[in-house]
Amino acid sequence: MENVKNLIVGMGFSGVTLANKIATELGQEVVIIDSKNHIGGNCYDYWDKNGICVHQYGTHIFHTNLKNVWDYVSTFTQWYPYMHEVKGQIDGQLVPIPFNLNSIHQVFPKSIADVLETKLIAKFGFNVKVPILELRKAGDKDLEFLADYVYEKIFLHYTLKQWGMKPEDLDPAVTGRVPVYISRDNRYFQDIYQGIPLNGYTAVIEKMLDNPLIKVKLNTKWSDIKGKVKYDRLFFTGPIDEFFEYELGELPYRSLKFDFLTYDKPYFQTNSVVNYPNNYNWTRIGEYKYFLDNKSEKTVVSYEYPINFEQGKNDRYYPIVKQENQDLYNRYLEKAKALKNVYFLGRLGDYKYYDMDKAIARALDLFEEVKKNG
Ligand code: UDP
């Protein structure tokens, strides 16, 4: 039986970060596998025939306050200094999301907008983020009017489409990712570091894997090699419930379906992402040329449809963050702790709604732990 020093399952940022650190810093051999036919997991992008860098699994914007993560990724790429803005199609207008003071002035008559602005600043302060579920408890009739409006127009129907659940039935952190922002800042993220890798994400991952000690095996499922390979250490970034053969039950996930279209015109919409909380069955449309300012007479967009995850039919995209699922995950985690030299990480291994930077941070931390323990 083949013996592998370090076996890594999954070639998204989590697995690839570990592979890179183990090979370059410990000088050890790594075998890294992925069931997909390409590297990069759901961060995979490619250059299409029009010279547009398309994100195959939907729009990915790198943003972080973690200097160590930014510095680490910056050793593999230069950045296009892109700052993400999202507009929502609300009552026939394209308004800034997160809903902010500019959005208020766009959708309400001046007399109402002025009152709301004054009250918001008096109650919460300026430059403050207020999750919608908090704003609903404001205890003032004007602010409650605003909260009801934002809840109904921005969150309720989008969240029903995205998760098949109401905002209050999910962990508050989920809708808290996009709070109401008492500010004139139209950006989606306020992180110190934000950008798109100048040559795309796949090029970053390629560089991270570019080490003679790293052996890459695509089109290879964990179940293909399980029991056939011996390893000193296993880093598993796949679904933790699958690893344990679902013996405690299945962890639920949400999936996405994308319809990609190429339009024969230079631009389709005003910016990279437009959300449609209240219209159509899709949640948002992404237009890819905006990320790296690619110039072309054509433009590529994706219509994004949330769907249930079904084993063998589609991919896992999002863990569904709510208490009962966390409880099930915790029970799997107990089993995981009993295993020697098997580590779980990533969105699926940790069952956490990680952004790319947090997935990388987790892998870097785990590497330090492993290094310390020899
Ligand atoms: N959300 C919403 N309306 C919006 C944008 C976001 O209701 O216009 C809610 C929705 O529940 C969504 C969550 O906020 O799943 C987090 O949004 P984010 O844009 O962070 O989701 P991601 O880009 O990770 O899919």
- In the predicted model, what is the mean pLDDT of residues 272-293? 98
pLDDT at 237: 98
CA atoms in the 13 A half-sphere facing the CB of 130 = 26
Q: Name residues whose C-beta falls within 8 Å of residue 314's C-beta, 6 or more positions apart in sequence.
A: 255, 257, 307
The count of other CB atoms within 10 Å of the CB of residue 294 is 17
Tokens representing 86 are 């999202």
Helix, strand, or coil (residue 80): strand
Please give the distance, rounded to the nearest whole angstrom, from the Cα atom of residue 173 to the centre of ligand 1: 11
Please give the distance, rounded to the nearest whole angstrom, from the Cα atom of residue 331 to the centre of ligand 1: 28
Residue of 59, 152, 158, 258 with the most ligand 1 atoms within 8 Å of its CB, for mutation? 158
- In the predicted model, what is the mean pLDDT of residues 122-146? 96
Assess whether pLDDT exceeds 90 at residue 1: no
Please give the distance, rounded to the nearest whole angstrom, from the Cα atom of residue 236 to the centre of ligand 1: 27
Please give the distance, rounded to the nearest whole angstrom, from the Cα atom of residue 175 to the centre of ligand 1: 6
Ligand 1 nearest-atom number relative to CA 97: 8
pLDDT at 191: 98
pLDDT at 373: 84
Assess whether pLDDT exceeds 90 at residue 199: yes
What mean pLDDT, rounded, does the chain reach? 97
Q: How far apart are CA 301 and CA 256, in angstroms?
A: 15
**pTM of this prediction exceeds 0.75:** yes
Q: For 309-340, how does the pLDDT look when each residue is reduced to its tens digit (9 = 90+)?
A: 999 999 999 999 999 999 999 999 999 999 98
Q: Determine how β-strand 299-308 pairs with β-strand 284-287.
A: antiparallel
pLDDT at 372: 92
How much of the chain, in percent, has pLDDT values that exceed 90?
98
- Cβ of residue 162 lying under 6 Å from some atom of ligand 1: yes
Q: Whose CA is nearest to atom 14 of ligand 1?
A: 175
* SS3 assignment for 338-356: CCCCEEECHHHHCCCCCCH
Which residue type does 112 have?
I
Tokens representing 324 are 């009962």
Say if residues 350 and 361 touch (Cβ distance below 8 Å).
Answer: no
- In the predicted model, what is the mean pLDDT of residues 355-365? 98
Q: For 19-68, how does the pLDDT look when each residue is reduced to its tens digit (9 = 90+)?
A: 999 999 999 999 999 999 999 999 999 999 999 999 999 999 999 999 99
Q: How far apart are CA 368 and CA 374, in angstroms?
A: 10
Strand partners, 308: 254
pLDDT at 25: 98
pLDDT at 256: 98
Assess whether pLDDT exceeds 90 at residue 298: yes
- In the predicted model, what is the mean pLDDT of residues 286-291? 98
Backbone Cα Rg of the chain: 22
Assess whether pLDDT exceeds 90 at residue 2: no
- In the predicted model, what is the mean pLDDT of residues 114-122? 98
Say if residues 45 and 60 touch (Cβ distance below 8 Å).
Answer: yes
- Cβ of residue 154 lying under 6 Å from some atom of ligand 1: yes
Please give the distance, rounded to the nearest whole angstrom, from the Cα atom of residue 294 to the centre of ligand 1: 26
Tokens representing 208 are 């991270």
Assess whether pLDDT exceeds 90 at residue 158: yes
Assess whether pLDDT exceeds 90 at residue 172: yes
The count of other CB atoms within 10 Å of the CB of residue 75 is 11
Please give the distance, rounded to the nearest whole angstrom, from the Cα atom of residue 177 to the centre of ligand 1: 7
Helix, strand, or coil (residue 368): helix
pLDDT at 302: 99
